[in-house]
Chain A
């Protein structure tokens, strides 16, 4: 059939038939602008905001959510949406870490085992997703199974480190909390992995167009598995850090982590359908949410009020980002 649709002039120099696209950094700039505004407003409204202790508290609060959000970003970028087993998986890491410490295992061994165990749980889910099952359903089921098993084993009770208290969980290095350092290091690592390596590029391309990626010889299976492995490492780190900080855990640890992480990722501007975004942005999203919720704590918002405002902010930012993305697509 004749197909004149989509035909545009090209006989002229190619540069004339391309339009100037909206810059890629714009969503990031908007998020940065919002963060700056939020912080400025916070400083004006609350004198106690700009103290070393408070800043440390914000960073520490952002760290756990941030680590997991950064870790999940490759999964979202690859077009596998988000995990709904975030809380349960981190809880599994935390409970098993504390239990091993309580049983007198050396800390490095406990850390290694937790990371490896979480990777195994992640790879199992990754294989299921890579063979075609919907990631939402797979992770939802995994979360239920993990929670069920852990509750059954712990009997709903509190697991304690007992006499073998971990001392470094609340420590600082040059005044910076250990969680914040891990967050920083992990963000840099995953960001470099995504932007500079072959597998990172492949992850992005699979999310941008799965069919084209397949034709280009990219293994969608490998990309999916790797995304789940990175995600699992982040979950393990979050569990270990919190375990080390509190020296106790229950099956109900990390009650809001799933929602917080997804919010951080979306606020950071990573597209839920994949192919656009970066771990760095998710880290920024986590920081922004931490600032907003800290400001509300300082101003005596109730827990319910805080959650409601936080939810509203997430919705507004995500809608804004989505509109911008749409307009960019429509203009092309």
Chain B
């Protein structure tokens, strides 16, 4: 056996990310690793690549016990990871990127020698026709992905981990990447392939391991499975009382999107949102769901389409313009553009609506304190400590600030992307509850999320997206989780 993992556990605070999982990988094998968001796939990848250290359990590589933490050890043991984010330096040439971070390279970068070396490596990943002198910023996404793989080959890795390598690729490009991965496996390397896309699993993998709620199911050969069997293995999660009851909504739309087109959408999107309705958009990374949200928020310029808010045309030309009309927007990445980490909770909460507690440009400290207290209380944020910096809060509480700050703006429509990413169960349930209350008070809500169970539990109406198109839109009770997962994941085999 190439890699053996036994009774591996990892806990983050109150969340048991991995609960005594077992995992095995044979030489020359492609093992698909499947599971829903939060099932523990990422945690296993992080442990194998040495980014986090496990709480307990054993790892064996080629029959001898191995410690993979920190990442230098993992690399020395022959484990290599291709991440979703690319680590190449865009301004350097392909050849130069291939020697970056390598040991035993001559300190003189002689272009002739570099390029000759690069040629060989590029051929191994199917990039025979690429000139090694090209700078990386001129490569296509697929070429960059393949270059990442070539960089790992230099290190002579025996276990290759691919973390959703095809998420941002088009069909033809996917085929290129899959061909290279198959070839690497046939040369005797072992591959762990993490994905949400079932068709790729059946085209590529030898066996499948499914994670569910931090536990592992025994690996099964792909030849014994079909799509239905895999979906059944992945689901079966108890949603319990996580989600509030669905609401009722008026038939008259408050928000009408007509023929919207923007970068990231290949077909125009038309939608309606009614007062009291939560509309869920779901799809994989790059499916177009977030492009819709970002256009409506005024941060991504649409190329076509009209939007009406309460019967009046809404201009999407800038974020300030949409905010003025009552469009709140909670972004997907709170650290990047959702919070002011170094500033006080109070200032974060009042940031979108401080004008409403000021007169003549002067902020009224008293009115600001009162209003932020109200907002904080609604979201169960400790009202006595609104003066402390948001960076000192836990991820869940930071997210409550990122969502909660919009409540004070008295929005008419609230747009959210991945509202509970990196958020623990407790804060999750709270955020869902608040969103439903907000919705019941007459605010229209549109949520984009790649977490299908979240979309199914929270939304009244659900639209699925695939490769820049809206593929289907139905009421929540017409969907089953099975159908939704299928719609989002394996459009190829369904059509």
Contacts and interface: CB of A to CB of B under 8 A. Distances in A.
Decide whether A and B are members of one complex.
yes
A332 B163 contact: no
A3 B421 contact: yes
A208 to B, nearest CB: 4
Interface in B321-375: 323-324, 329, 331, 336-343, 347, 351-352, 354-355, 358, 361-363, 365
A304 interface: no
Given A208-B342, A332-B391, A2 B358 contact: no
Contact of A10 (B343, B347, B354, B394): B394
B208 to A, nearest CB: 17
Contacts of A100: none
Contacts of A21: 388-389, 392
Contacts of B194: 1
Nearest to B387: A24
A13 interface: yes
A198 B424 contact: no
A14 B382 contact: yes
Contacts of B381: 14
Contacts of B163: 1
B483 interface: no
Interface in B180-239: 194
Given A10-B397, A17-B393, A217-B352, A212 B43 contact: no
B38 A215 contact: no
Contacts of A9: 13-15, 394, 424, 426
Most chain B CB neighbours (cut-off 10 Å) among A216, A275, A276: A216
A219 interface: yes
A10 B396 contact: yes
A21 B395 CA distance: 16
B299 interface: yes
B100 interface: no
Contacts of A201: 347, 351, 354, 363
B40 interface: yes
B426 A10 contact: yes
Nearest to A11: B426
Contacts of A212: 336-340, 351
Size class of B's contact patch?
35 or more
Given A4-B15, A4-B40, A209-B339, A215 B425 contact: no
Nearest to B11: A4
Interface in B116-168: 163-164
B12 A275 contact: no
B343 A205 contact: yes
Contact of A275 (B40, B41, B343, B382): B343
Given A17-B397, A199-B361, A209-B341, A4 B12 contact: yes
A204 B421 CA distance: 27
Of B17, B36, B347, B389, chain A has the most CB atoms within 10 Å of the CB of B389
A6 interface: yes
Contacts of B382: 13-15, 18
B6 to A, nearest CB: 20
B384 A198 contact: no
A4 B14 CA distance: 11
Contacts of A153: none
Nearest to A275: B342
A19 B396 contact: no
Contacts of B423: 7
B319 A215 contact: yes
B47 to A, nearest CB: 11
Interface in A286-332: 329, 331-332
A21 B345 CA distance: 13
Contacts of A167: none
A22 to B, nearest CB: 9
B380 interface: yes
B392 A18 contact: yes
Given A10-B394, A204-B343, A18 B388 contact: yes
A209 B393 CA distance: 17
B90 interface: no
A188 to B, nearest CB: 15
Interface string B24-36: 0000000000011
Contacts of A18: 382, 385, 388, 392-394, 397
Nearest to A208: B340
Nearest to A8: B394
A218 interface: yes
Interface in B56-88: 84
A4 B382 CA distance: 24
B2 interface: no
A2 B324 CA distance: 35
B320 interface: yes
Nearest to A211: B337
A13 B381 CA distance: 9
Nearest to B338: A212
Contact of B362 (A196, A214, A332): A196
B37 interface: yes
Contacts of B12: 4-8
A131 interface: no
Given A3-B37, A197-B362, A275-B343, A215 B331 contact: yes
A208 B341 CA distance: 8
Nearest to B329: A215
Nearest to B43: A4
Contacts of A332: 341, 389, 391-393
16 contacts: A3-B422, A4-B10, A4-B15, A5-B12, A7-B396, A9-B13, A11-B14, A15-B384, A19-B392, A201-B347, A205-B351, A208-B342, A211-B337, A215-B338, A219-B320, A275-B343
Interface of A: 1-15, 17-19, 21, 196-199, 201-202, 204-205, 208-209, 211-219, 275-276, 329, 331-332
Nearest 10 CB-CB pairs, A to B? Answer: A11-B426, A8-B394, A211-B337, A10-B396, A217-B323, A4-B17, A9-B14, A6-B395, A332-B391, A208-B340
